[in-house]
Chains A and B, each alone.
Chain A
Amino acid sequence: MKLIFEKSVEGRHCASLPKNDVPEFELGDELRRSHPPRLPEVSENELSRHYTSLERRSFGVNSGFFPLGSCTMKYNPKVNEDIAKLEGFTEIHPLAPVNSVSGCIEVLELLKKLLLEITGMDNLTLQPSAGAQGELTGIMMIKKYHQSRNDNRDKIIIPDSAHGTNPATASMCGMKTINIPSNSEGRVDISRLKEVAGEDTAGLMLTNPNTLGVFEKDVLEITDIIHKSGGLNYFDGANLNAIMGVVRPGDMGFDCVHLNLHKTFSTPHGGGGPGSGVLACKEVLSEFLPYPNFFNTSDFYKTEDIPEKSIGRISGFYGNFLVYLKALCYILSLGKTSIPLSAKTAVLNSNYFKNLLSKKYNIPFPNDCMHEFVISMKDEAKNKGVTANHIAKMLIDRNIHPPTVYFPLIVKEALMIEPAETEAKELLDEVAEIFLEIYDIAMNDPEMAKAAPINTEISQPDEVLAARKPVLNFYDEENVDV
């Protein structure tokens, strides 16, 4: 389809603005740009159709089964979207006087109370805008904690199954990453952990259940080893959906945790964002939380006098308010019974689905999986040339969003599958049949697998060309099509 710039016709217009009703002010030529930006000139009808066409070429949770591992693609309730569109929330200036924003403050306080109970923590900040920013906040706080004790610990211990954001975060905080291997069950190798934990250990970052979907059953021993070494424990909340309301990070020995509200608490992913990466912590880290802590409303306007121990601001204002507002709606709707029930149903769905797929697919770490599990196509790739990516592309032809591919790194040819709790049994049955059928087709005729997808508008875009000769905007000098 055409780009909006290719639909542009000089002189066409869309939005109507009122006439200027005050004397026109002329800005000096020396301050003005020399050429106008080449923005599209389209009518409202064309614009509407453009976005309808783009939507048709997108795949959301509303489009079909979306078992993307570690991303928790659950259903995004519509009522929460409507509530986030209320003028009483959207038209509030972030620097409006405190007495005019009591509704917003009520939202913050309600959500804080609920999330502290669900995480088992003592305090939190809503500022981080995504999981990765929550991680950054948490590790900054751990660093500041050690600094405040004149302790220059600089090693963060991370299992080899961890998300790439963990080591990248440690690095942004000037910390060195110590990788520890997983054992044959897919869990942290405790003896190795004991060897590396020591007086230079600033902390541990752990995802539990981990990215293999396996619960770290020795979690209490793990967090204790770190505490005894003088380090702190960070819980990566990416997989919290498995244990939401069932087990609490705060009870497992963790000192802080980030929550991906866009995973666990149903706020939509928006094609990549906006999300929200709330960071909750135990009392020991509370004084290091970002500033302002707007539960203390007297600090509301302040831009300076940041308390010495706070890591400082992490967001221009208070994070993604409308996003965490939706998470609040979700928790209020589900409440004390359905929050844990949703987690348990996610775990049931995953185990049921795993059982169906295990008839043909190899699952290298099959035991104690919770909300997700990982398939390996290693043997099929070696024997038949059928890779994880081929299976992914074949699923696309059946209107199924592929699982996460090639992650975690410790499983060769990985397909990481997370069927969220909002999928019905009969759909899981149907989709499992498709997975099994595709497997047979691929094994019998690898060339067919390699040709997929065939039902899509484009197929197998050349990523090498894209990276070698980057064309990153329509008017890019490298864009020979312009």
Chain B
Amino acid sequence: MNLPDNLRFSKSHEWIIIDENNTAKVGISDFAQHSMGDIVFINLPSVGDSFDAGDEIGDVESVKAVSEIYSPVSGTVSAINEELLTSPELINEDPYGSWFIEIEGATIDDSITLMTSSEYEEFCQKES
């Protein structure tokens, strides 16, 4: 399983990276894209929307399924990856290069566990 060490992972299979300015990028893990299969569409929030950690921020569609995406942190959407709206296949091809949204003022909340790559690997093994 492809699991970069610099990322953190949520139990609902989002990855997150937070920089020194508390700006976060969020996407879905390799495990998630693989279990979804070919992704055909994503719904993303609008720039300016604010979320609490654990809120639903959009969803990912395959041909026969839909999966919600949850925000691993609280904050305000400062950018969305518009390229994914027209080329959702990028999520399958490069899940960690395909960030969904950028969150400003990202604040970690105790209610959402963020795992290291090795913890997440163990979590996924249990789940499958």
CB distance from B67 to the nearest CB of A (A): 14
- How far is it, in angstroms, between the C-alpha of A409 and the C-alpha of B33 when the chains are bound? 20
| Interface residues in chain B, defined as those with a beta carbon under 8 Å from any beta carbon in chain A | 38, 40-41, 61, 63-64, 88-89
Q: How many residues from A make CB contacts under 8 Å with B? A: 5
- How far is it, in angstroms, between the C-alpha of A372 and the C-alpha of B65 when the chains are bound? 25
CB distance from A327 to the nearest CB of B (A): 33
Interchain residue pairs with CB less than 8 A apart (11) = A406-B64, A463-B63, A464-B38, A464-B63, A467-B40, A467-B41, A467-B61, A467-B63, A468-B40, A468-B88, A468-B89
Contact pattern, A 435-453, Cβ under 8 Å of B = 1, otherwise 0: 0000000000000000000
- How far is it, in angstroms, between the C-alpha of A463 and the C-alpha of B38 when the chains are bound? 10
Give chain A residues whose Cβ lies under 8 Å from the Cβ of B41. Answer: 467-468
Known interface pairs A464-B63, A467-B61; 12 further A-B residue pairs with C-beta atoms within 8 A, sorted by A's residue number: A406-B64, A463-B63, A464-B38, A464-B40, A467-B40, A467-B41, A467-B63, A468-B38, A468-B40, A468-B41, A468-B88, A468-B89
Name the residue in A406, A463, A464 with the highest tally of chain B Cβ atoms < 10 Å from its Cβ. Answer: A464
Give chain B residues whose Cβ lies under 8 Å from the Cβ of A468. Answer: 38, 40-41, 88-89
Give chain A residues whose Cβ lies under 8 Å from the Cβ of B89. Answer: 468
- How far is it, in angstroms, between the C-alpha of A406 and the C-alpha of B89 when the chains are bound? 24
Contact pattern, A 396-411, Cβ under 8 Å of B = 1, otherwise 0: 0000000000100000
CB distance from B89 to the nearest CB of A (A): 7
- How far is it, in angstroms, between the C-alpha of A468 and the C-alpha of B90 when the chains are bound? 12
The 6 tightest CB contacts between A and B, nearest first, are A467-B40, A464-B38, A463-B63, A468-B40, A467-B63, A464-B63
Name the residue in A406, A463, A468 with the highest tally of chain B Cβ atoms < 10 Å from its Cβ. Answer: A468
CB distance from B39 to the nearest CB of A (A): 9
Give chain A residues whose Cβ lies under 8 Å from the Cβ of B63. Answer: 463-464, 467
CB distance from A467 to the nearest CB of B (A): 4
- How far is it, in angstroms, between the C-alpha of A463 and the C-alpha of B39 when the chains are bound? 11
Contact pattern, A 448-475, Cβ under 8 Å of B = 1, otherwise 0: 0000000000000001100110000000
Give chain B residues whose Cβ lies under 8 Å from the Cβ of A467. Answer: 40-41, 61, 63
